[in-house]
Chains A and B, each alone.
Chain A
Amino acid sequence: MSRIREAFSDKKAFIPFITCGDPDIETTEKIVLAAAENGADLIELGIPFSDPTAEGPVIMEADSRALEAGTTTDDVFLLTARLREKLAIPLVYMTYANVVFSYGTEKFAKKAAAAGIDGIILPDVPYEEKGDFEEAFAACGIDLISMIAPTSEDRIAMIAKEARGFLYIVSSLGVTGTRSSITTDIGAMTALIREHTDIPCAVGFGISTPEQARAMAALSDGAIVGSAIIKIIAKYGREAAPHVGEYVRAMAAAAHSA
C-alpha cells in the first residue's frame, strides 16, 4: 500500500499545508515535525512561487516571505530529504506549473522522488494539461494529485477515473483562504466521485475551525488546512512550531473524530 493510501486507511485524515521557507527553511523543518508529532496524517509542502494565482492573500504573502528569504526549489528538495529521514507519513508538494517546468519536469520529478516525496499538486494544471507532468511523475513513483471544484459538474467522472493518490476537493469558488461558511454540497460531490473511483477524497479551501474540519472530514476522507496555519506562522515567525503543533492537535482530533 502506498504511503498516501495508508494515511487514509483506518481514519479520516488531517492534512496541513505549510509554505517552505516561510520565514526560513530551518523553521519550516521544525513546524513540519511539530505538525507530524501532533497528528497530521499527510503534509502538503508548498514550494513558493512569485505569482500564485490560485492563492488568497495569506498564502501569497507566505510565498513572498519565503522568496525574500532566498528559498529555492533545491533548498526544498534538501529539506524534504531531511524530513523523510524522520517521518513515515506521506509528504506531497503543492506548487505551480512553472516551478516544475522551468526546473525541467523530469529532473524535478527525479529529485523529488529521491528526496522522498509521495505526490504533487499543481493547481494550474487541469485534466487537459496533465499529460506531460503525470507521465514524468508516475515514472518516478509520484502521484500527480487531481482537483475537483464546485464548478466541475460534468467533468467529475473524467477526472475521478484517472485520479491518483488522493482527490483534492475544492470546497468553494475562489482562491485559498479562511471562510466563515462552506455552502457547496460536498456530500453530493463525494457521492458522484465514489461512482467512479475508490481513491480517498480530501476537502480543502476555507477550513479553519475544528467544527469545519470535522464536518468536511465526515463528508469525505479528510480535511486540508492551509491559510489558518500560515496565519499562525506569520504571527509567531521563528517561534511558530509549538503554536502550529497545538493547533494541529485540535484540528486533527476533530477530523479523526468525524
Chain B
Amino acid sequence: MNKIIQILKKEFLIIGRDVHSVAVLFIMPAVFILIMSLAMRDLFDIHAPVQINILVVDQDGGPISKEFLNNLDKLDVLAIQKLDPNSTVDQITRRMFEKDYKFAFILTDRFSSFVENKSGGQDQKPLMLMVNPTVGTHTQLVLKNILGSNLAKMRVQTFIRSHEKWLALAGIDKQKLMEPVDTSIGIQYVYKNKQDYKIPSAVQQSVPAWLVFSMFFIVIPISNTFIAERTQGTLLRLKSINISKYYLLSGKIVPYFLMNLIQVALMILIGMYVVPLLGGTAFTLGSSWGGLLLIAASVSFSAIAFALLIASIARTTEQATTIGAVSNIIFGAVGGIMIPKFVMPDFMQRLSNLSPMSWGLEGFLDVFLRNGDIRDVLPKAILLLAFGMVMLFFTARILNKEFEGKRVL
C-alpha cells in the first residue's frame, strides 16, 4: 500500500512542480474556453434577437412617411437613425462608412402618393435601399422583407381607411382586416427523437471541445516524466528493483486519470462562473452525472493510453512533445474541436468520425446539449475505451522489449 501511495505522491509532486505541464493542462484550455466562448458568441447565438442599424432620410416628410418610420421604430429588429431630409446620396454614403452603418434608405418625395396608390405608375421607386456590399445575402433579405411587408401593410391600411364606409356596408370588420399578418404565424422547434435539447451556444460548444483537446495534451507531462525516467537512469534503478512494468504503467495511469478529472471539473466551473462574468452565456450541465463520468473517464483513458504510446516510442521529450502536439492538433482539427462539426461539409463530418477527440466531444455534447444519459454516451465510450486498449497493447509490447533488453534504452 505504501508503494502505491508513494508512486502516486511522487507523480503528483512531479506534475505539480512542472509549470509547463500545468500551463498546458489547465491554463491553455481555460484561455481557449474564454476566448472562443466570447469570440463565437454571436455566431452560435442563432436564436438571439437580431438588430440592424440603419440610416434613414425622409425626403417625403408627410404624415404617411412619418407613420411608416414610427412603425419601423417600434420594431426591436431595427435601430433607426434619422438624417437631414436634404442629405444627398454622397453624404449618406459617407456617413454609412464613417459610422459603419451597413444600410440606409431614402423615402423619396413620392412615398406618400405610392402608399395612397396615387402615383400612377411612375418609374421612380418610393423607397431606395442603400446596402454596404459586405453585408450577407441573408441580412439583406431580412431587411428587404421587413421594409416590404411594412410598406404593403401601410398600403392595405390606407386602402381600408379610405374605403371604410363601403366595408361597413358590406359587413366586413375593418379591425380584423388591419390585424398584423405576422402575429398569426407561430413558431415551434422540432427535435429528433423528441429529446429535450439545448440550443448550442458558444460556451456550450467551447467547454467540451477545449476540454477534450486539453485532456489529450496529457501527453506533454506523461512523456516528460516517462522519457526523463529512461534517460536519467531512473528506469534502470526501477528495473533493478524488479518493479513490474504493469506497476509502472498503473503508476502513470492513475495520477493522470485524476489529473484529467480535475481538468473536467475546472473547465466546467470556468464555463459556468467565469465566462458569464466576461459577458458570455453561462455553461449549463446536463442531467446525467453517470453519463458525464463515463465519457470523462473514457476520454481520459484513451488520452493517457495514447500519451503512453507516444512516450514509449519517442527517444527524447522533444520528439514526444512534437509528435504528441501535432497528432492532437490533427485530431482536434478533424474532430470538430477547432471548427464545430455542424459547419463542416458532409464528407468532413464523416471524416471527423475517425478522430477519438470527436467521439469524446460528441459524448460530452450528448450530456451537455442533448440531455443524454449513460445509454446515449455508451457507444462513444466503447470506441474510446477500445482505442485506449489498442494504444496500451502497443505500449506494453514496446515496454516488454525494453524490459527484456531487446530495445536499447
Indicate whether A and B interact: no
Q: Which residues of A are in contact with B by a Cβ distance under 8 Å?
A: none
